[in-house]
Structure 1
Amino acid sequence: MRRWIGALGAVAAALALAACGQGGAADAEGGELRIYNWSDYIDPELLAEFTRETGIKVRYDTFDSNEVLETKVLQGATGYDLVVPSNHNVPRYIQAGALQKLDKSRLTGLAALSPDTLRHMQPFDPGQAYTVPYMQGTIGIGYNADAVAKRGVSMDSWKAVFDPANLAKLQDCGVYFLDASEDMYAVALHYLGKDPNSANPADYAAATDMLLKARPYVRKFHSSEYIDALANGDICVAIGYSGDVLQAADRAEEAKNGVTIAYVIPKEGTQVWFDVFALPADAPNPAAAYRFLDFMLRPQVIARASNYTHYANGNAQATALLDPDVRDDPSVYPPADVAQRLFVTTTKDQALLREVNRQWTRVLTGR
């Protein structure tokens, strides 16, 4: 996620300029739109452009894990008009009555959405009743190509980050894991040859044992700081989200700091995920939320968002508008043979989720 601190400052500056340019029209026309989204997950200029076009001010707050978002949304009274959960969390939101159904008559761009994306989302939001697709990507391994090569570790398998023998070779140059329990257990279970959507606590215990053996070699568990750390050469390996790693690679290249970052989907396969826009049940300004959703459904707008984030989007009409280095990158749009090795995670019930979180606490604490 590009310039975690810098981009937030750019958001504030761009929106302040746009609001000033409106001469007070923002309050008169549409008030404020409050968005709660992943860190640096949109081009700040798009937010400023939306304000210039509609007169609606945007307050853009960020989180870096589904667990943080879900806790806030399920507690209610979020104060947000739009939130951006991942696919496997959506059914719990719906079951809890935490989201409001879409009024599709207010969204003119739905026809542009990819049938494949909608098919993937069908088990989580049947009939697309509550959500609008935003970005999609994979979980894989980001790494400093030169640093890893010097240490003789092959990065084509999850073994590179789950086998203590390999991690011992990488410890001195720094390894980060995601602080995202469901995502980390999904890929760990898959590597162990178990169902990544297992409902068996014993499978999670086995994955926990493996992660605890890896734990001494992991410098930090965090779901966004690895971007800067990779780009700056502060670490050499991170389990991370595809677009984040690709943005780190871009930043290192722009800085001309001699760091070359690569991203790999391990040969065993990995999780593909879908992030979506949704309106909390008590959204204070749903009218502004619909204006923003319709804005983001424009192919030319969502293409610019993908060019910035280096994530694929769910708008079929936007593909031709993407920068070639995004559209043609197999890390962004995996080819058919790689796509066959991808899986989607399903929703856990509350009892299993509590067990997973309990196990994850053991991993984080090393006990």
Structure 2
Amino acid sequence: MKTILTTAALALFITSAAHAEETVYVYNWADYIDESLLEKFTTETGIKVVYDNFDSTDMLETKMLAGNSGYDVVFPSGSIFQRLIAAGAFQPLNKDMLPNAVHLWSAIEQRTEDFDPENNYSINYMWGSTGIAVNVGKVREALGDDMPLDTMELLFNPEYASKLADCGINFLDASSEIVPAALTYIGEDPNSQDPDVIAKAEPVLEAVRPFVRKFSSSGYITGLATGDICVSMAWSGDGLQARERAAQAGNGVEIQYHAFREGSGMWFDQIAVPADAPNPDAAHEFINFLMEPENAAAISNFVWYANGNLGSQEFLKSEILNDPGLYPSEEGMKNLYMKNTWDAETQRLVTRMWTRVKSGL
């Protein structure tokens, strides 16, 4: 045993020495990883992690399209992935360097192939739905006990939004989420690229703009948990994070997350390597580390999101694995639609519209 331990220690020393001075530069959403894993990765490999954050998909896309970002590992959403592949922003993954890919969940891989054929450029990090998070007490107080809590009416119908303005409405600062939802609300195809159809979303959003307190894709979790806002379009895990934070604070705030009864978009956050990554080998080592089932579970247990790693499920908290807001039933999955990537012209149209809506012009 002593010889074995010595050999293992020597192997770890050699590995760490081989990676001395190496750094992997990572670009991800804020509060979207258990940061103790970054230290664990450095301890195991000797590779230092520089971890930066972005707060919108537009910010990430702009940086990837400009090139020379300096990052080795990035976390793009499926909604922009096809466009970035077409622009040559990513390099194909070397699957021989990712032995932990055997743990990936085929049910999720089949869906991500819609925007990454054969999953050549990415692996799934987290996935979920875009729905609504509500402060049950405040919404009931404003609208009565009979008002459904899982409907887009709370966000897009001025009659209801006006009554919720005082307790606070938040919209995600994500045109790729808001515009398809608005189109769904009026019975249009959320994946339409017809300019005339896209334009129909603007009056829907303008009608409720006066009642929206914030446009936030990250701070709204705290806002919900503290009672600063009472309704938000939300990513599934964020809604459940807010619920848990409120429960831990014991402040009497009850948060519920629901996929929209009218239909919710299914989203995917992927892990990819930029085409000009300074250290692609370290990037692959970091990605493979994240795919270890216990590490993938640790992230989900921290951020309250479902992941695409089937092997991780035995390590997930039961309240995560068994929550239909995170891991929907087969019937629940039928109410989730895949969001296609807009072409560049449609994206510009949507971005301009979203800028006008936010500024109130």
Partner of residue 34 from structure 1, selected from 22, 25, 42: 25
Identity among equivalent positions (%) equals: 45
**Equivalences for residues 342-357 of structure 1 within 5 A:** 342-357=336-351
1:253 aligns with 2:272: no
Matched to 2:291, the amino acid is: L
Partner of 2:74: 83
Alpha-carbon distance in 1 for matches of 2:346, 2:295: 39
Alpha-carbon distance in 2 for matches of 1:29, 1:128: 32
1:106 aligns with 2:97: yes
Partner of residue 215 from structure 1, selected from 209, 220, 233: 209
The size of the alignment, in residue pairs, is: 344
Alpha-carbon distance in 2 for matches of 1:335, 1:350: 35
Partner of 2:137: 146
Partner of 2:186: 192
Matched to 1:194, the amino acid is: E
Q: Is the 1:37–1:84 Cα contact (8 Å) retained in structure 2?
A: yes
Structure ID, larger Rg: 2
Q: Is the 2:79–2:176 Cα contact (8 Å) retained in structure 1?
A: no
Specify the SS of the correspondent of 2:192: coil
1:326 aligns with 2:320: yes
Q: TM-score, normalised by structure 1?
A: 0.91
Q: Is the 2:246–2:253 Cα contact (8 Å) retained in structure 1?
A: yes
1:62 aligns with 2:53: yes
Structure 2: unaligned runs, 5 residues or longer: 1-12
Partner of residue 125 from structure 2, selected from 126, 134, 147: 134
CA deviation map 1:60-84 (0-9, x unaligned): 1111211110001110010100000
Alpha-carbon distance in 1 for matches of 2:331, 2:93: 35
Partner of residue 259 from structure 2, selected from 259, 265, 269: 265
Alpha-carbon distance in 1 for matches of 2:42, 2:224: 33
Matched to 1:50, the amino acid is: F
Q: Is the 1:269–1:338 Cα contact (8 Å) retained in structure 2?
A: no
Alpha-carbon distance in 1 for matches of 2:62, 2:234: 22
Cα pair distance change 1:239/1:26, threshold 3 Å: farther
Q: TM-score, normalised by structure 2?
A: 0.93
Query: CA offset at residue 100 of structure 1?
Result: 0.8
Specify the SS of the correspondent of 2:49: strand
CA deviation map 1:43-96 (0-9, x unaligned): 011111111111111111111211110001110010100000011211111111
Specify the SS of the correspondent of 1:172: coil
Partner of 2:308: 314
Matched to 2:127, the amino acid is: Q
Partner of 1:9: none
Partner of residue 341 from structure 1, selected from 315, 335, 343: 335
Partner of residue 65 from structure 2, selected from 74, 81, 104: 74
Partner of 2:168: 174
Partner of residue 295 from structure 2, selected from 297, 301, 306: 301
Q: Is the 1:180–1:223 Cα contact (8 Å) retained in structure 2?
A: yes
Specify the SS of the correspondent of 2:166: helix
Deviation above 6 Å: which 4+ runs of structure 1?
A: none
Alpha-carbon distance in 2 for matches of 1:290, 1:334: 31
Q: Is the 2:26–2:71 Cα contact (8 Å) retained in structure 1?
A: yes
Q: Is the 1:190–1:196 Cα contact (8 Å) retained in structure 2?
A: yes
Partner of residue 221 from structure 2, selected from 227, 232, 247: 227
Query: CA offset at residue 118 of structure 1?
Result: 0.9
Q: Is the 1:26–1:57 Cα contact (8 Å) retained in structure 2?
A: no
**Equivalences for residues 7-46 of structure 1 within 5 A:** 28-29=19-20, 31-46=22-37
Query: CA offset at residue 26 of structure 1?
Result: 7.6
Query: CA offset at residue 219 of structure 1?
Result: 0.5
Partner of 1:3: none
